[in-house]
Amino acid sequence: MERLPRRKLTGINFETGEVKFQEATVLACDPSFTAWGWSVLTPQGKIVKAGCIKTAPESKKTRIRKSDDRTRRTSEIVHVLLTLIKRYNVRLMVVEAMHGSQNANAAVTIGIAAGIIQTLSDTLDIPVEYYSEQDSKKCALGKKAATKDDMVDRMSVIFDPDWTNIKYIDEAVADSLAVFYCAQQNSQMLKMMRK
């Protein structure tokens, strides 16, 4: 298995000879077309930045086609993720596996979310690992069934994030942190990054 680069050269001071590097990070995602939770963490588990990408449909208000509105929302998500990847030298993505849908529209958005992750992985040459929601809950709480509040409480203990006290944001961030926590226990790639 190829060793991932740990640092990215960010600058050289030619007068002093000082070289500055940026350490590699991991992007953990809880993909959703409406509230995409994300966390950027060091391989050791220190939170660098966390948040939620919120998109909302506008097709009814602006009378545009649903497909055109989905394209706008996809672009918003991709723009934020690309910015995070470049700014924080992301070298691995760990993602909650997309699953199930209750209707055709939900199935389409799940496909879009999966396409976003895989395209970023393929085009930027960043490995991606998927973990099921049940696996993340089992790693974090010891059981496969848990409420969103249970997950927020548990991630508070493990990571001590700066919560926003906005329910949907904190839930999305907690789910992304749970995916990272599961990866810490299972990912060979993450273990290599910590060496």
CA distances to 35, 134, 146, 154 from 141, in Å: 23, 10, 8, 7
pTM, full prediction: 0.86
Q: Which CATH superfamily is domain 7-194 in?
A: Ribonuclease H-like superfamily/Ribonuclease H (3.30.420.10)
DSSP states of 11-58:
EEETTTTEEEEEE-EEEEEE--SSEEEEEEE-TTS-EEEEEEEE----
Span 48-72, pLDDT tens digits: 999 999 998 875 666 667 667 889 9
Model confidence over 93-152: pLDDT tens digits?
999 998 877 788 888 889 999 999 999 999 999 999 999 999 999 999 999 888 999 999
